[in-house]
Structure 1
Amino acid sequence: MNITQEKIDDLNAVVKIKIAPEDYTAKVDNSIKEQAKKANLPGFRKGMVPAAHIKKMYGKSILVEAINTLLSETLNNYLTENKVEILGQPLPVLDNGKDFKWDNTDEFEFDYELGLAPAVDIDITSKNKFTEYQVKADEETLASRIKNIRRSYGKMTNPEVSADDDVLYADLAQLSPDGSVFEGGIAHTGSIRLDQVEDKKILKTLIGLKKDDVVELDLQQAFNNNETIIAKLLGIEEEEGKDLKSKFQVTVKNVNRLEEADLNQEFFDKIFGEGVVTDEAGFTAKITEEVEGMFKQDADRKLQNDMYINILDSVNIVLPDAFLKKWLKATNEKLTDEELAEGYEDFAKNLKWTLIENKLIKDNNIEIKYEDVFATAKSRLDAQFRMYSPTPMPEDQLAQYTATFLQEKDNANRIFEEVKALKVFDYIKTVATLEQKDIAYNKFIEMK
């Protein structure tokens, strides 16, 4: 066995592996004997098939399998032992001019292209400056959140006349261009949420309606061409809702209103537990804390994105682009040239950031422990469960769900990468200069 590496340049190389008969003959013979013991062929008792017969029938396929296994083991061991850092996977050179007989006497030579990982030179210091925003709840955002919570615990009423934020339960009938009801057209009974109507002029025509009132409605204009809302309202597919141009006759069957819950002790206890909040000021303070807690996640994401962009732009990393494009095509058979051209830039950015992450982790001895992965997965699952029920899941049950969740390789890898990213960002925060700045939420979202 002989394996050599020829460097084409700093980012590309070719590995040549030469295999002589003495490297594979014993493996092939052993495989043939094993097959003979297991073979069940007509004319022979099970386990009594002569090895020569197995070799005649299956010798070539056994040889191919043995060579492939030997190649894989040899190449992986070589890269590991020589600490060759590569991107993607080695690609076999298919047109190297070699032609083999596959008769157990061949001397094989296989060539593999390598995309070499570039050296990464990065040093985060206090000279790296970032703004860490402390997002505060502005009056409008806070009022909207309080209103939604009160309505969530409120009761449904049926006022005589519609007002802002009411829901019109109505019959909708598709109209012909002349304004008459289109025979055989779309007819459906649905709920029109006035808080979803974006056109202000149309919204005015829907306020002040009562049962049995009839109005004409341009759905595309009313909902700003939102096919999802339109399709749900009419009970049709979104694709059909996207192309719908007709106006509709709306006949009001009922006006529904969700009244806000009273700010009393019963309401406070339902949300926060008995006696935790006792007055409106305490209620507002709790909601402010909750809202600003959610804003902190947004602020953290912005800080991470600012770090990502700044550091990525400041580090000069050159990739073996031609190799990587070839590798992407080889490992994604359905990937078109157009898709590759459109998506390669984002792929390259993510790969460069991964190289930066790995360098920072290695140079600064950043540890990623299983308990960190478990705690993060547990937190994510807890948040998902709370979307369906405000009552927290028992700790032992949540832990069991988490353990089961992490048994799936894809889940474990995804959470590991998330923890890895968070660990790197946390490290950057400890060495870079963070300038804290208070900002109202409505101003913060304008920055996105």
Structure 2
Amino acid sequence: PDLAKTKVTRYVVTVTDEMIDNELTRLQNRYGNMKDQESVNSEEDVINVHFTEVDASGQPVEGGATKDNSLLVKYFAESVRKQWMGKKVGEALTFTLAEAFEQKEREWLRSDLGFDKTDTAADSKPFSISITKIGLLEKRELNEEFFEQLYPGKEIKTTEGFREKIKEEIQAHWNAQATNQIHDQLYHQLVDHTPVSLPEAFLKKWLQTQGENPKTPEQADEEYPKFAKQLKWTLLSEKMVADNGIQVDPQEIRQFAKQQLFSYMGGAAMAEEQPWVNDYAEKMMKDRKYVEDAFHRIQTQKIFEWATTQLKPTDKAISAEDFTTMVESHQHDHH
């Protein structure tokens, strides 16, 4: 197909001041200092608490849920925040989750306490919530030392310059998401609109014999559309690889292994030529399954990168919320 005529949209997420403010606050908190407090004085205090499921008389339920957690006082529902004021380590309050927290906090708390996050019945269970530590998070001051710590060598001197750098990073994140979304559109355009003739009857019979357990004709019929799409994509991929000389070098697989290792370690930027990093990459190069998987992933990325250079997408501005909703509603299983 003529990719230049393929209709695709490049979504350009608008980075708002609110997004920059939120990220700035997150960084100030992350690099701030926790100062111990005698008692709870403010909604900004952080309290380490122990949740214990109790019965109507306040006694711990045998085998009930228990969990340590760390919460800002302001995460509690407004009606109960004032009840924490003045409380000290060792003191406790008893609430149901429905009394203590707003709806948006309850879902992750249910999950954290070992319930299903959709189990609304858990909201009516009473918990004794006892304080084990009280702290006040002192936000990191916005100064050149902080800017240099986060962005070494970038010579950022002012808060305005710092905000601009944060904006660049947020935009880069959303641009990468938008590129993935272009790849998704491209996949559908190629698979759905390129005529490829497949021997359907033969392939359905073949599907019945695959796997440990033979499949019925009905099961093969059900699986066939997804299988046909995957096969079509494989055939189209192989053609694009052959026609455009797309190759994967062993060194690229080593580099892929190193980058994966760094991401496992929280994205820490380390010297790539450290002996143990190279040893890890060489060890992975001996794992045939890993090499095949890495080869496939790098090749797929290169196919999309080449195909994207042939496109003439139309730009469309969109909010981060709308973009996220659109992507989530379209999650499915392919390539």
Q: Settle same-fold status: TM greater than 0.5.
A: yes
TM-score per shorter chain, which class?
A: 0.7 to 0.9
CA distance in 2, matches of 1:206, 1:341: 57
Which residue of 217, 222, 231 maps to 1:351? Answer: 231
Tell me if 1:139 matches 2:17: yes
Name the larger-Rg structure: 1
Which residue of 272, 278, 294 maps to 2:157? Answer: 278
Tell me if 1:204 matches 2:78: yes
Map of 1:301 onto structure 2: 180
| Structure 1 range deviating more: 418-427 or 302-311 | 418-427
Higher relative contact order (CA 8 A, sep 6+): 2
CA distance in 1, matches of 2:65, 2:246: 61
Map of 1:430 onto structure 2: 309
Letter in 2 for 1:284: R
Which residue of 274, 279, 289 maps to 2:168? Answer: 289
Tell me if 1:230 matches 2:113: yes
CA distance in 2, matches of 1:248, 1:375: 51
| Cα deviation, residue 315, structure 1 | 2.1
Tell me if 1:409 matches 2:288: yes
Map of 2:140 onto structure 1: 261
1:171-210 to structure 2, matched below 5 A, reads 171-176=50-55, 178=56, 180-186=58-64, 188=66, 190-194=68-72, 203-208=77-82, 209=84, 210=87
Letter in 1 for 2:106: F
Note the residue ranges of structure 1 that are not aligned, 5 or more in a row. Answer: 1-122, 232-237
Note the residue ranges of structure 2 that are not aligned, 5 or more in a row. Answer: 328-335
Q: Is the 8 A contact 2:32 2:140 kept in 1?
A: yes
Which residue of 234, 244, 248 maps to 2:127? Answer: 248
SS at match of 2:49: strand
CA distance in 2, matches of 1:331, 1:193: 52
Map of 1:395 onto structure 2: 273
Tell me if 1:444 matches 2:323: yes
Q: Is the 8 A contact 1:136 1:441 kept in 2?
A: yes
Map of 1:153 onto structure 2: 31
Q: Is the 8 A contact 1:165 1:194 kept in 2?
A: yes
| Cα deviation, residue 365, structure 1 | 2.8
Q: Is the 8 A contact 2:32 2:138 kept in 1?
A: yes
CA distance in 2, matches of 1:329, 1:166: 62
| Aligned residue pairs, count | 313
SS at match of 1:266: helix
CA distance in 2, matches of 1:286, 1:184: 53
- Identity in percent: 22
Question: TM (normalized to structure 1)?
Answer: 0.59
Question: TM (normalized to structure 2)?
Answer: 0.76
| Cα deviation, residue 242, structure 1 | 6.1
Letter in 2 for 1:135: V
Which residue of 237, 244, 249 maps to 1:365? Answer: 244
Map of 1:315 onto structure 2: 194
Distance 1:190 1:425, change over 3 A: same
| Cα deviation, residue 283, structure 1 | 1.5
- Once superposed, what is the RMSD of the aligned Cα atoms? 3.6
CA distance in 2, matches of 1:342, 1:196: 51
Map of 2:260 onto structure 1: 381
SS at match of 2:256: helix
Give per-residue Cα distances to partners, 1:251-292, cap 9 Å, x unaligned: 334333433211122222222226732221222122222222
Give per-residue Cα distances to partners, 1:305-332, cap 9 Å, x unaligned: 1111222221234544554455455442
CA distance in 1, matches of 2:255, 2:59: 56
| Cα deviation, residue 184, structure 1 | 2.6
Map of 2:330 onto structure 1: none
Q: Is the 8 A contact 2:205 2:220 kept in 1?
A: no
SS at match of 1:126: helix
CA distance in 1, matches of 2:133, 2:51: 13
Give per-residue Cα distances to partners, 1:142-173, cap 9 Å, x unaligned: 22222222222111124533655654322323
1:7-156 to structure 2, matched below 5 A, reads 123-156=1-34
Q: Is the 8 A contact 2:42 2:73 kept in 1?
A: no
